[in-house]
Every structure is written in structure tokens, then in C-alpha cells.
Amino acid sequence: MFKNFLNDIRHHITVLNYRRARRNAQSLANRLGCQVFCVKINGRPALLTKDYFKELRSKGVFPKNFTAVQLKDISVFTVKPDKPTH
């Protein structure tokens, strides 16, 4: 019973972390006007903009043949900026 309780708490914390990451990603996408990817790094969600990904790829952090489409496939979720209402 105690193990189930701890697993439930871990699950709720994980859900809250991803909700917070989605809110932050949407805010960042709206502010910068570019697509934002959420990837898991060491088990935690991390936000990566498309422009920053291209910069990291040019510096050699990612291989040259690794594309944004492949990043989209491995990401937990992607967020695009909201369209302006005016």
C-alpha cells in the first residue's frame, strides 16, 4: 500500500512538471515567435527552441544529419506560437 502511495505521488509530480513545461513552452513560443520542443534530459523535461537547436547543430552538439523533423519525432511535445488575433 505504501509503495502504491509513493508511486501515485511520483506520478502526480511528473504530471505537474510536464504541465508547467507546456505552459512555459507556450509562453516562450509566443514571446520568441518560434517553435519550441520539449525533450527529456536525465528524466526531466527541457525546452529547446528550433533556432537554438540549429545553433547547437552548427556547433557540433548534434550531428549535421540530425534534422528538426527527427527532433520533433523524439520530443515529448512541440508548441508553435499562437496566431495573432488582430
In angstroms, the CA 23 to CA 26 distance is: 5
Reply yes or no on whether the pLDDT at 25 is more than 70.
yes
What pTM was estimated for this model as a whole? 0.76
Reply yes or no on whether the pLDDT at 82 is more than 80.
yes
Q: Where are the beta strands (DSSP E) in 22-86?
A: 36-41, 44-49, 77-79
Where do the structural domains in the chain lie, given as residue ranges? Answer: 2-79
Q: What is the pLDDT of residue 3?
A: 79
